[in-house]
Amino acid sequence: MTAERPNDASSNAAAEIGPFAEAVWTTPFGLPPFDRIRTEHFLPAFERALTAHEAEIDAIARATQPPGFDNTVGALERAGLDLDRVAGVFFNLSGSHTNPDLQAVERAITPRLARHGSAIYLNADLWARISAVDADAEALGPEERRVLDRYRTRFRRSGADLAPEAKARMAEIAGRMAELGTQFSQNLLADEGAFALPLNGEEDLAGLPHFLRSAAAAAAQERGGAHSHVITLSRSLIEPFLVFSSRRDLRERAYQAWSKRGESGGDTDNRAIIAEIVALRAERARLLGFDSFAHFKLADTMAATPDNAMDLLRNVWTPAHHQAAAERERLQALVQAEGHNFALARHDWRHYAEKLRRAEHNLDEGEIKPYLPLDGVIEAAFDTASRLFGLRFAELAEVPRYHPDVRVWAVSNADGSEVGTFIGDYFARASKRSGAWMSAFRSQERLNGPITPIIVNVMNFAKAPQGEATLLSFDDARTLFHEFGHALHGLLSDVTYPLLSGTAVAGDFVELPSQLYEHWLEQPEVLRKHARHHRTGEPMPEDLLKRLLAARTFNQGFATIEYTSSAIVDMTLHLSSAGEEGLDVLAFEADALKRIAMPVEISMRHRSPHFAHIFSGDSYAAGYYSYLWSEVLDADAFDAFREAGDIFDPDVAARLRKFVYGAGNLRDPGEAYIGFRGRLPSIDPLLRQRGLAA
């Protein structure tokens, strides 16, 4: 056997990591070459990128020249670009189009990445250099001061000031938390994939409209065709089934499976994982000197303290509770009017609420959906962005994509200058986790570029059979607008430093751009233009449009209770130290709900064993309240357009782009909001928006 020559070794190493060996991807707009990326490329690509980043960090920490902004903070911002690229592709695929081999890589690499991150933030030499940077002596500008402040905050919150033993424990916790979050997500995906409710014959399909029958038939084909129709645990199937099915027994079976994800008692049970996560979070908070994980988490948010967040939740809970009680009485009366003697249950609420909506507003979901084809709603979202911000969208045909259903658009300004690339991945499939989200394959920045962003929206709409249009409910359409608001936050980012880019903002500010964008969907001007019948192209009849908008606050007691109870349980769980004593999460959840007098006919929107927002990672842990906090902002913010007399007022839109959508984390969120609105927000518009005002 002959020894390999150096060029042979280099060639083999490059082959091992495939396209990740290339310094620049020559694909259109620098899109990842999905057609050439293989699962086996990821682990060696991660290892190579991690080794390179470790060397870069070591060079910064051990530099002999006096610490300055550029040779320390700037150098950190220029380091790890290969690692960012590999991780950007990998974690997007692991959420949107995974497989067992990719999941095995995820289990292996997430604790490794967590340890790598801990090693950076606990590096004493590096922290000493960052601490020594003198912003005044260097006459740093506002953006440089902001990025320096954010680095110092991150290092302190990661344990940079702790004693060596505590630092070691912080690193252990980070690694274990990464393992647990990954396992939680994979367990949930497995539970969702394992359930299918077969519907065989007209009796099982009773009450289901054509669009839902078509979606259930498509789901059955995707699962092998053993049954003519199936209902899966995809929200786009399960929720309309609970609305329309007149088979109470089947609604109960479907609802039980949906509500008990993550607590099967088998290998995919998440309860022990939750107990360990809660205990580790509490321990980490104590090491950093905080009373609880909730106190730690909120110290770096607009809310600042758990008390402030809980005050908002309580202020909304009380009127919502009264309204939900009134809604329940009307639904129970409807049950009895049909000649039934059962008490309204959780699997009944949506079904009878739809009947009540028809009775009170002469409105039915099946009447609305033909006017909301997916393509039409996408066009509405794009047109709104064009009218607000002057953006243009050109769909790209011959570009790499990771699944045949994925669509790609080039995004430009009105003058033709490039803004970024937008990817839309709209349909549910077994390889995709549930929910809807925005992410980035590449984030905007100028330090290493200019770099334009590649932003993706991922949904889970039920795909129509071949040759038919996919029709959305109004809630589906709102979800699309919501996630596209996040996408615009990433696309319009206009910052120099990667750390400040796009959605890298406080957790209770990040939902402002997304929730604010939802408002345009509900405007008659937008609906008259874009809500058109999928076959005839005729606009939604004016009478239907008026009935749709008149029903906006219908059932909002239920919707508010469903959400707010989840936020309260999240906050209560992370204010406690229950995990240290072997947390029984179901008992804790039940006790927390009992103390707020949770209506028995309504369940949390996300029960703890499947609450991926707070247990798949830390992003929304002790932070699920942020949707409501941001709703205070978005309701008040949209009033700025109403006050201007034009929902596309160019001056208000320009301020919105400057201080919200384009600003990343250039400013404290309170300062950013004042820059846009001229003042801090009031809660009154939120209460009006939800129909809860007095």
Joined tokens for residue 609: 């064993």
Residues 564-613: pLDDT tens digits?
Answer: 999 999 999 999 875 556 899 999 999 999 999 999 999 999 999 999 99
Instruction: Give the side-chain half-sphere CA count within 13 A for 663.
Output: 26
Written as one letter, the residue type at 690 is R
Residues 194-234: pLDDT tens digits?
Answer: 999 999 999 999 999 999 999 999 999 988 888 999 999 98
Residues 616-666: pLDDT tens digits?
Answer: 999 899 999 999 999 999 999 999 999 999 999 999 999 999 999 999 999
CA-based nearest residue to 220, from 241, 206, 193, 199: 199
* pLDDT reported for residue 691: 87
CA-based nearest residue to 666, from 546, 515, 506, 435: 506
Question: In sequence order, what DSSP letters do the residues of 84-150 get, joined into one string?
Answer: HHHHHHHHHHHHHS--HHHHHHHHHHHHHHHHHHHHHHT-HHHHHHHHH--TTTTT--HHHHHHHHH
**For the chain, percent of residues with pLDDT exceeding 90:** 92
Interaxial angle between packed helices 81-96 and 39-61, expressed in degrees from 0 to 180 and rounded to the nearest 10: 140
Q: Cβ(512)–Cβ(404) under 8 Å?
A: no
CB neighbours of 21 closer than 8 A, spacing ≥ 6? 13, 14, 15
433: three-class secondary structure by DSSP: coil
CA distance 249 to 197: 12
CA distance 643 to 298: 32
Report angle CA 515, 516, 520 to the nearest 5 degrees.
110
Average pLDDT over all residues of the chain = 95
Neighbours of 643 (CB within 10 A): 10
Neighbours of 286 (CB within 10 A): 16
Q: Cβ(442)–Cβ(88) under 8 Å?
A: yes
Q: Cβ(193)–Cβ(234) under 8 Å?
A: no
Return the exposure string of 539-562: e unless at least 16 CB atoms fall within 10 Å of the residue's CB, then b: bbeeebbebbeebeebbbbbbbbb
* pLDDT reported for residue 4: 42
Joined tokens for residue 650: 């160019």
pTM: 0.94
CA-based nearest residue to 262, from 613, 612, 618, 621: 612
Joined tokens for residue 239: 């929720």
On the question of pLDDT at 302 being above 60, the answer is yes
On the question of pLDDT at 670 being above 70, the answer is yes
Q: Which helix (H) or strand (E) holds 459?
A: strand 454-461
Residues 351-376: pLDDT tens digits?
Answer: 999 999 999 999 988 899 999 999 99
Catalytic hit among 77, 263, 483, 511: 483
Q: Measured over all CA atoms, what is the biggest interatomic distance in the chain, rounded to whole angstroms?
A: 88
Place of tokens 């990821």: 42
* pLDDT reported for residue 648: 98
Strand partners, 421: 410, 454
Residues 129-150: pLDDT tens digits?
Answer: 999 999 999 999 999 999 999 9
Instruction: Give, rounded to a whole angstrom, the gap between the first and last alpha carbons of the chain.
Output: 85
CA distance 523 to 647: 8
* pLDDT reported for residue 15: 77
Interaxial angle between packed helices 235-244 and 349-361, expressed in degrees from 0 to 180 and rounded to the nearest 10: 60
Q: Which helix (H) or strand (E) holds 271?
A: helix 271-287
Neighbours of 62 (CB within 10 A): 10
CA distance 318 to 568: 13
CA distance 515 to 510: 9
Secondary-structure breakdown of the chain: helix, strand, coil percentages, each rounded to the nearest 5 = 60, 5, 35
The stretch 96-109 carries a mean pLDDT of 97
Write a three-state SS string for 1-20: CCCCCHHHHHHHHHHHHHHH
Looking at 338-473, list the stretches that DSSP marks H as alpha helix, in order from N- to C-terminal side.
Answer: 349-361, 365-368, 374-389
List of domains in the chain: 15-121+123-161 (1.20.1050.40), 195-259 (no CATH), 369-550 (1.10.1370.40)
Residues 53-97: pLDDT tens digits?
Answer: 999 999 999 999 999 999 999 999 999 999 999 999 999 999 999
Joined tokens for residue 95: 């959420």
Read off the pLDDT band of 692 (50, 70, 90).
Answer: confident
- 354: annotated active-site residue: no
Joined tokens for residue 3: 């020894």
